[in-house]
């Protein structure tokens, strides 16, 4: 059965600036290359879900500018419903500037733009869409109040909610945590929220315990090239990543989450298997340049299983 996934989140035009390393304060450096592509954490996650086989829809905002159609068309090209991607007349479409180093590591500067205009009224307009979904996913590149409102509605109609707390913030509002079924931070975001650095198995378990105290029932912490840790009230475990040579880690976490949502059961009974699938997907992403252009299809992920 195909999962129905709704993503409430951000749409950005990514400008990718390829550099040898980060410049020092006051230093001027030449770039090796530059390019642009559709991105945004929300859009990346939706594309990953759709390419991995989920029936995917999007709730978001674009500006009244040339970028708007590029962003909409990118979603449509992957079969993602854009009925609820609306236009904000007062702000430009979101943009991200990705400083990609030769090592494959990246640093990202984000202009929120129209993403910050997403309001509860946009959720009201999409209630029928949400009600029909298996999962509602959101992140922190759109207003948290709007996400909370959407998650409250989703839980009231039996839809499973997944929160990716990125970019990192010091605390997640209690009202939002109450209506989050699965929390999925990376190790940096987890440490920011718990105050416990993620370094080894013991620190992951301590993070999980702290999150449990906050009311988190299901947790996945992604740990970059090492893999992903998961925990709930019954068990915890670690799923190793697949060893590949990374050329660009942009969208690796977004690919993981989107691919995960395409396979996960709403009762989380296949958590480990879904993480293995998501690890396969993100291992392909990091071997390619760009955000959405690097996200694999279901056929590509399945081919990894056959190797």
Residues labelled catalytic: 254
Confirm whether residue 232 is marked as ligand binding.
no
- H/E stretch holding 66 reads helix 66-76
Give the 3-state DSSP-derived string for 174-229, with helices as H, strands as E and coil as C: HHHHHCCCEECCEHHHHHHHHCCCCCCHHHHHHHHHHHHHHCCCEEEEEEHHHEEE
Confirm whether residue 148 is marked as ligand binding.
no
Confirm whether residue 28 is marked as ligand binding.
no
Confirm whether residue 141 is marked as ligand binding.
yes
Confirm whether residue 288 is marked as ligand binding.
yes
Confirm whether residue 178 is marked as ligand binding.
no
Confirm whether residue 128 is marked as ligand binding.
no
Q: How far apart are CA 274 and CA 271, in angstroms?
A: 5
Confirm whether residue 9 is marked as ligand binding.
no
Confirm whether residue 207 is marked as ligand binding.
no
Confirm whether residue 85 is marked as ligand binding.
no
Beta carbons within 8 Å of 267's beta carbon, 6+ residues apart: none
Beta strands 81-88 and 55-63, pairing class: parallel
33 to each of 37, 94, 99, how far by Cα in Å? Answer: 14, 22, 11
Q: How far apart are CA 210 and CA 33, in angstroms?
A: 43
Confirm whether residue 285 is marked as ligand binding.
yes
Confirm whether residue 40 is marked as ligand binding.
yes
Cα 60 to the center of its chain, rounded Å: 14
Q: How far apart are CA 40 and CA 13, in angstroms?
A: 7
**Binding region for ATP:** 186, 222-227, 253-254, 279
**Binding region:** 12-14, 40-44, 141, 186, 222-227, 248, 250, 253-254, 279, 285, 288, 290, 294
């Amino acid at each position: 059965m195909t999962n129905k996934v709704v993503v409430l989140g951000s749409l950005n035009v990514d400008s990718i600036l390829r550099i040898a390393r980060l410049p020092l304060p006051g230093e001027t450096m030449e770039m090796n290359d530059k390019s642009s592509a559709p991105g945004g954490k929300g859009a990346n996650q939706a594309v990953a879900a759709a390419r991995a086989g989920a029936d995917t829809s999007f709730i978001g905002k674009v500006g009244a500018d040339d970028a708007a159609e590029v962003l909409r068309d990118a979603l449509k090209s992957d079969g993602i419903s854009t009925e609820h991607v609306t236009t904000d007349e007062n702000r430009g479409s979101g943009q991200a500037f990705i400083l990609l180093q030769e090592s494959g590591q990246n640093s990202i500067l984000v202009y929120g733009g129209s993403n910050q205009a997403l309001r509860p009224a946009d959720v009201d307009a999409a209630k029928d869409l949400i009600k029909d979904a298996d999962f509602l996913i959101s992140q922190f590149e759109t207003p948290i109040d709007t996400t909370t409102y959407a998650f409250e509605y989703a839980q009231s109609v039996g839809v499973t909610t997944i929160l990716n707390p990125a970019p990192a913030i010091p605390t997640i509002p209690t009202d939002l945590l109450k209506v989050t079924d699965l929390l999925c931070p990376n190790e940096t975001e987890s440490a920011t929220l718990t105050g416990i650095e993620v370094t080894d198995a013991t620190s992951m378990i301590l993070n999980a315990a702290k999150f449990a105290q906050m009311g988190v029932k299901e947790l996945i912490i992604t740990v970059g090239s090492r893999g992903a840790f998961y925990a709930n009230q019954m068990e915890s475990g670690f799923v190793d990543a697949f060893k590949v040579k990374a050329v660009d880690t942009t969208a690796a976490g977004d690919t993981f989450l989107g691919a995960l949502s395409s396979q996960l059961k709403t009762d989380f009974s296949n958590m480990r298997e879904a993480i293995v699938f998501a690890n396969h997907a993100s291992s392909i992403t990091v071997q390619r340049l760009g955000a959405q252009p690097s996200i694999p299809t279901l056929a590509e992920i399945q081919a990894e299983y056959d190797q």
